[in-house]
Amino acid sequence: MITLYTNIMSPCAQKVRIVLAEKNLSWTARPVDLANKENLQSWYLALNPLDVVPTLVHNEQPVIESSVICEYLEDAFPQTPLRPSDPLQVAKMRVWLKHIDNKLHPSCGALQWPLVMRPGLLAKSEEEQQKLIDQIPEAPRRERQRRLLAQGLEAPDVAGAVKVYHDTIVQMEATLKNQSWLSGDAFGISDCATAPYFQTVIQFDWLQMLEGFPAVLDWLARVTARESYQQAVSADFDAELLADLNARGRDAWTIVSKHLQAAAS
C-alpha cells in the first residue's frame, strides 16, 4: 500500500521514514539516485514535479513535500498519534515545520551538498555538469547548486547556512529548557522533522556545534536512541560510510567553525 521514493542522505526522506517507523507502518523503499540526478528523469517528474525526494505513494496516489507527507500519514494512520491535540500546539508545530522547510533544510543542503553530491559531479565533464544542473526546474535551487559546484564550501551560501544552524540551536535550547520535546511533553512530528538535520551534524563529526547547549545535546541523545531513529536513519549508515563522512566533515571543519564563530559573535 505504501511506497516511499527515498534517498538515505536526504533529511526530508529521513523524517518521513521516522514517522513511518513511529507508526509501525509497513512500506516499500524505492531508492532514488540523487548523485546521478535520477530525480530529473521524466518518470520521476511525473510523480513529483518538484524533482525532490521523498515522494510517498499510497493506494497508487503520490503525496509530495515531506512536511505534508508527515501530516498526511497522521491523518491516514491516526494510531500512535504524533500531532498534538491542542490547537495552539498544532499551530506551533506548523510554524516549526515552516522554519525547517524554509530555512533549516536549504541550510543543510548548502552544507551537505558540497561534501556529498559535488564530488560525483566534478568527476563528469563540465558540459555534463551544466546539462544536469540546467534541468533543475526551480531557479533558486538551480543557481545555488551551480555556485556550490563551482566554489564548494567557499560559496557564499555556506556562511548563511551555518548561521541558520546556530540560530536554530539557540531557539531549540530555549524551548527544551521548558519542555521535554520540541513537540511538547510527548515526542511528535516536530521532533521527527528536526532530528535528520542533526544526523548531518553527527555524520560530519560536527558535534562541536552543540557545545554550550546541554538541553539540545540531551534531546539529540534521546532522539537517536529511539527505535524509530535507529530503524529509519542509523541503519543506513554503516561503519564504512560513517567513517568516510566523518573524514569529509573533519576536513571541512576549519571553514564551518570560522562561520560558526562569526554567527555566535
pLDDT band at 108 (very low <50, low <70, confident <90, very high): very high
Give tens-digit pLDDT for 192-228: 999 999 999 999 999 999 999 999 999 999 999 999 9
Q: Is the pLDDT confidence value at 232 over 90?
A: yes
pLDDT band at 137 (very low <50, low <70, confident <90, very high): confident
* Segments making up each domain of the chain, as ranges: 2-76, 87-264
- Which residues are within 8 A (CB) of 194 and not within 5 positions of it... i.e. 6 or more apart? 15, 96, 100, 104, 172, 182
- Which residues are within 8 A (CB) of 121 and not within 5 positions of it... i.e. 6 or more apart? 35, 129, 132, 133, 149
Q: How many CB atoms lie within 10 A of CB 255?
A: 17
The stretch 166-171 carries a mean pLDDT of 98
Task: Determine the topology of domain 2-76 in CATH.
Answer: Glutaredoxin (3.40.30)
pLDDT for res 93: 97
pLDDT band at 56 (very low <50, low <70, confident <90, very high): very high
DSSP for 128-187?
HHHHHHHT-SSHHHHHHHHHHHHHGGGSTHHHHHHHHHHHHHHHHHHHHTTSSBTTBSS-
Confirm whether 2-76 and 87-264 share one CATH topology. Answer: no
Task: Determine the topology of domain 87-264 in CATH.
Answer: Glutathione S-transferase Yfyf (Class Pi); Chain A, domain 2 (1.20.1050)
Give 117-133 as a 3 state SS string: CHHHHHCCCHHHHHHHH
